[in-house]
Structure 1
Amino acid sequence: MIDQKNPFGLHTVTPYLMVSDAERLLQFLQHVFDAKLRGDISYRADDTVEHSEIMIGDSIIMMAEPSPQFPEIKPTSCGMYVYVNDCDKVYEKALKKGGLSISVPTDYPHGDRYGGVKDFAGNIWWIVTHNKK
């Protein structure tokens, strides 16, 4: 069992996205999920994002842009499962902000209703509301 405490208010696992144009993704997340920037964005000398943190609900996502200092690290994409109060509303916000529909919101037997949206960087955002009482 891992029970590692940290001084930064992070959960045991914190996603760290490596994307081209991190500022654009931060803006997308702020618009779609009402995410809040956590602290200041730090930049390298070439004005690329070295580190940033954004908070969606009670979860933190870190992100940066690739650096020539570490040529083996390339932009990557991933999938995130995000609980919201109204998945239909948030799904529509994501589409209006340029997201590409992967799946329209649908009710599933386990009680979640969700749809999927792909952002410009290739990340899939599963936008979820739990409906089962």
Structure 2
Amino acid sequence: MSKTATPSKPKSAAKSAGKSPAKTANDKIDRKAPALAPHITCRDAAKAIEFYKKAFGAVELMRLPGPDGKLMHAAVQINGAMVMLNDEMPDYGALSPLSLKGTAVTLHLNVPDVDVWFARAVKAGATATMPVADMFWGDRYGIVTDPFGHAWSIATHQKDMSVDDIQKALKAMGDLPCPDAAQVSQKASQKRAGH
């Protein structure tokens, strides 16, 4: 169920009138912000919210539409973390990865079963940009790109390794290509755009 934020009277005005402050949708929003939360721009943020519900089990926290109906701000919770989002607003420089032809950011999910989460995201419409595999650093890991151009790495931790052990495992791989998530996402965005 979505919550639409609405303006409320300042609490001081309610107190001076001898009344307790009116309860509004704003009173239901948890104002304790996490120390860090991604804020992403999407082409059609309302569709993105629905996708994130299907792909990642997102819980919608709020929507704040502007006068034109575009989402100025929205928030969902994915895997216990808040993700904020808004619609593209080119006049203000808010462009999505689809408009930018790629992204330099990857959103990372640590989950109990990467294979289940990865398959669910692909079934919901994400593109598998790096298949799930056991990685040299001790995680089972894969990357998807959502229909809005955002890259999501998904991992399940399998074993603890020291930095030395990770470096040895990497060295043992030789010169195998290991693209970073941004390169993988850019290729997926270009594929989507027909380039």
Decide: shared fold, TM above 0.5. Answer: yes
1:10 aligned residue (11, 23, 33): 33
Q: Which residue of 2 aligns with 1:32?
A: 55
Q: Which residue of 1 aligns with 2:95?
A: 74
Q: Which residue of 2 aligns with 1:42?
A: 64
Q: How many residues align?
A: 125
1:57: how far off?
A: 2.2
Q: Which residue of 2 aligns with 1:64?
A: 86
Highest relative contact order (Cα 8 Å, sep 6+), 1 or 2?
Answer: 1
Unaligned stretches of 5+ in structure 2? 1-29, 98-102, 161-195
Q: Which residue of 1 aligns with 2:117?
A: 90
In percent, how many aligned pairs have the same letter? 25
1:55: how far off?
A: 0.6
1:58: how far off?
A: 2.4
Alignment pair present for 1:104 and 2:125 = no
1:54: how far off?
A: 0.6
SS, match of residue 64 in structure 1: strand
Unaligned stretches of 5+ in structure 1? 1-6
TM-score, normalised with respect to structure 1 = 0.85
1:59: how far off?
A: 1.1
Larger relative helix fraction: 2
Q: How big is each residue's C-alpha offset from its partner over 1:16-53, in whole Å with a ceiling of 9 and x where there is no partner?
A: 00111111111111112111111x31111111111100
Instruction: Return closer, same or farther for 1:112/1:68 CA change in 2, 3 Å cut-off.
Output: closer
Aligned-CA RMSD value: 1.7
